[in-house]
Homo-oligomer: A and B are copies of this chain.
Amino acid sequence: MNIRDILDSLKKGEMSTEEAEKALRLDYVDKINDHTVFDRGRRIRKDIPEVVYARSKAPKMVADIAKRVPKDGYLLISRASREHYDAIVKEPSDNEVTYHEDASAISVGKIRAERKGIIGILTAGSSDIQVAEEAKLMAEAMGCRCMTSYDVGVAGMHRILEPMREMLDNGVDAIIVVAGMEGALPSLVASLAYVPVIGVPASTGYGYGGNGEAALMSMLQTCSPGLAVVNIDNGIGAGSMAAMISKRRHEK
């Protein structure tokens, strides 16, 4: 019920002044975040799944949150262990609960089948796959298909060119590149591709800067145009950025 309807009802006497005032007051709080201009955004935003970061949460706490997901709702639980999964499935639920081992994540509910956009995801090494899979889950939940090619490293350049060619031929909206160590791959991809690239530093490496800082710094220092980054190991953030780019492209 919008303002006009309330005012009309009031004028017509279908609503008392008190009722109208209360309706408008309640409306205030709701409207703060979703001002009319954000209407279209709200429709889009419905596709952004709620995400819970499980690492610092006890299995029971996560299970309680999972229980509150409404039927036909969707929740993504990142950095989740088997213990988190076991705690969730112990209780009956209307929603399908899946443990995505590669991504160390749990999904509660189902994402819709139809997907418009398409995202490419590359990793430099095999240790970066979990972060890539987390990004993939997020992008899928936001309505994208994902093409992945893992462990393309920097050792041999043809290992990178082949999957990039395929991704570009398939018309990807954006490419996510996960890389630890010196984190050079995203810059290389951004210097060759003609699509936006999202770099994800991975916390794999040795000694000085080996917890992902070297990779983060490298990506931030890049000379390649069309590259932006998210935080170390933040697959969720990369997935959501790529999907947002994709959505904006396809809604036109």
Contacts and interface: CB of A to CB of B under 8 A. Distances in A.
Contacts of A252: 249, 252
Interface string A140-162: 00100000000001111110011
B206 A155 contact: no
Nearest to A41: B194
B221 A241 contact: no
A210 B198 CA distance: 20
Contact of A17 (B11, B169, B201, B207): B11
A93 interface: no
A213 interface: yes
Interface string A180-209: 011110011001111110100101111111
A77 interface: no
Contact of A225 (B48, B169, B218): B48
Contacts of A71: none
A114 to B, nearest CB: 18
A194 B226 CA distance: 20
A209 B201 CA distance: 14
Interface residues of A, number: 104
A220 B214 contact: yes
Closest 5 CB pairs of A and B: A207-B232, A41-B194, A225-B240, A226-B244, A209-B217
Interface of A: 3-4, 7-8, 10-11, 17, 20-21, 24-25, 28-33, 35, 37-38, 40-42, 44-45, 48, 53, 56-57, 61, 65, 126-127, 142, 153-158, 161-162, 164-165, 168-169, 173-174, 181-184, 187-188, 191-196, 198, 201, 203-210, 212-223, 225-234, 236-238, 240-241, 243-245, 247-249, 252
7 contacts: A7-B24, A207-B212, A220-B232, A225-B244, A226-B244, A227-B241, A252-B252
